[in-house]
Every structure is written in C-alpha cells, then in structure tokens.
Amino acid sequence: MRIGVDLGGTKIEAIALDGAGRVLARERIATPQNDYMATVMAVAGLVERMEQSLGDRARVGVGTPGALSTLTGCIKNANSTCLNGQPLLRDLQAVLRRDIRLANDANCFAVSEATDGAARGARTVFGVILGTGVGGGLVINGQVLNGANAIAGEWGHNPLADEDAGSPCYCGRNGCVETWLSGPGMAADHRRHGGEAIDAATISARAEAGDARCEACFQRYVDRLSRALASVINIVDPEVIVLGGGLSSMARLYTEVPARWGRYVFSDQVSTRLLPPMHGDSSGVRGAAWLWPMEDAE
C-alpha cells in the first residue's frame, strides 16, 4: 500500500492506493493557514488515520507547492509562503518515523498521468499545469526528473518569445510564460484588448458561442501555448504532453495547438501527442502516491 498526500494552499488531500492503483481510502481537510508546524501535523494526522482505518503501514509520498532546495534541503519557490525555508521533508520523516518521498505538485501530476493515466506506456512525458499558475514536470521511463537545481520542468518561468516585456511575475521577472498562459494571464490579455473583466472559462465559453473578441483572445492564447510548448518539444522531445489545471478543460486546445505548433518545432513533423488528463483533479494526489514505484513499495 502507498499513500499520497497533496499539500495545497487551501486543502490537504490524502489517498491510499493498492498495488494496482485502486483507491482504498481518501480524505480531504483544510490547510492550516500561515502555520508551518500545524501543517506538518495535519499531514501526519491524515496519514496516521488512514493507516489505522486500513490496518496497514504505507509508503508515503507528498506533493507540495515549491521544491526542495539542493542547497539547504528546505522548501523554496512555494506560493504557500509559510513553507519556504522550512525543512518539510525532515520534519515529516521525524513525525511519521519513516522515509518520505517529496516532490513538486506538477511533478506529481506528471508521474500520475505517466504511470496509469493518459500517457501510460510512454517513455517520455511532460505534464503541464495551466491554472492560476503555470508549472510542469518531466517523467522519463517512469521516473520524475528533478534536475541539478530541483527545477526541471519549470517552463512557466521562462520568457515567452516574440512578446513584449509583459506583466510582472511573482518570481520578480517580467513576461514569464505564466503571466501569459495562466488563467489570470488569459483574463488580463482579454482586458488589454478592450474586453471586460471576465475569467478564462467565460472567455472560452463565449468564444465557442461566437463572441469575436473572446475568439481573438482564445486564438492569441493558442498561439502562445503553441510557441511555449514548441520550446519544450525542441529541448525534451517528449512522446506525450498532458495538460492539467483548470484551463486543460478547453477542448479545442487539443486540436488547435498541435495544428499550429509545427511552425515553431525544429522538425519536418511533430509526433508528440497532446492529451487531456485521465485523472483530472486527482492526478496530483495519485502522483504523490506513485512517487514510490511498485518495486519500492513491495
């Protein structure tokens, strides 16, 4: 048995899986706000209650916003700022008295979809988060790639080519992919071109209904996403790219982006498949559980 924990800014979800990936138990609680030790104890409490109810001890994986610094061993780059600078992995291992595997939440999404999701069987998978932020994770032969600086897959903080300086990003730079391709980024682009203040889901729905201004915004989004993913393909050349996050529900992306990204990819053809997620909102927590592959959980 393995337990995955998705540690989010507003909720903490835990899931227990058997060896075949079947869900044995699931629980969700609110995340303690701005209280690091309360968060550690909340995660540990979820795991312990789940083990008691199932009568078994599990391998535990945790997905977090941010990543472990290779310099300090503490969390960095988390938008849940009370985690930054804290030895989360060490503290969870001390409380739960076992080894824990911890990874960025986008990496967990990618692991989930590569293991038993939309990209099952693919050797190279790039998992994309398009939501309030933009993230990514790379899985090669079933293993997540963390990288020398623990930032592999963080394409959301590359500049988007052929654009102006763009909006400021929370990371301190301007014009990051995230500022264009996140939900708030799409909404901001719509306003910049004279549209009213509406969210990305409304823009997409109105574009489908024939609203010309929303359709123009959607087409700008498609072109930007095509260029941004083309840069990933040129470097990584994955077999499959899986989209996650709230904007992944825009069905037209899966036909229009592959139809356009070829003009930006350095190849005479593009065999990479762009797919929606199989597990939807559950991919992150499932991926945290799958941080322990089958051979390690036995």
The full set of domains in the chain, from first to last, is 2-104 (3.30.420.40), 118-277 (3.30.420.40)
Q: What is the pLDDT of residue 297?
A: 46
Report the distance separating Cα 99 and Cα 265, nearest Å.
42
Q: What is the pLDDT of residue 165?
A: 67
Say if pTM beats, i.e. exceeds, 0.75: yes
- Whether 86 and 75 have beta carbons less than 8 Å apart is answered as yes
Report the distance separating Cα 202 and Cα 98, nearest Å.
46
Q: What is the pLDDT of residue 164?
A: 72
Q: What is the pLDDT of residue 175?
A: 86
Q: What is the pLDDT of residue 294?
A: 60
Each residue of 169-202: pLDDT tens digit?
878 888 899 999 999 999 999 999 999 999 999 9
Q: What is the pLDDT of residue 255?
A: 98
Angle at 65 (CA atoms; ends 63, 71), nearest 5 degrees? 95
Place of tokens 């990204």: 261
Q: What is the pLDDT of residue 4?
A: 96
Which segments of the chain have a pLDDT < 50?
A: 297-298
Place of tokens 């008691």: 52
Q: What is the pLDDT of residue 298?
A: 45
Tell me the C-alpha to C-alpha distance, in Å, between residue 67 and each of 59, 83, 103, 155, 200.
20, 10, 6, 14, 27
Cβ-count burial 86-96 (b if 16+ within 10 Å, e if not): bbbbebbeebb
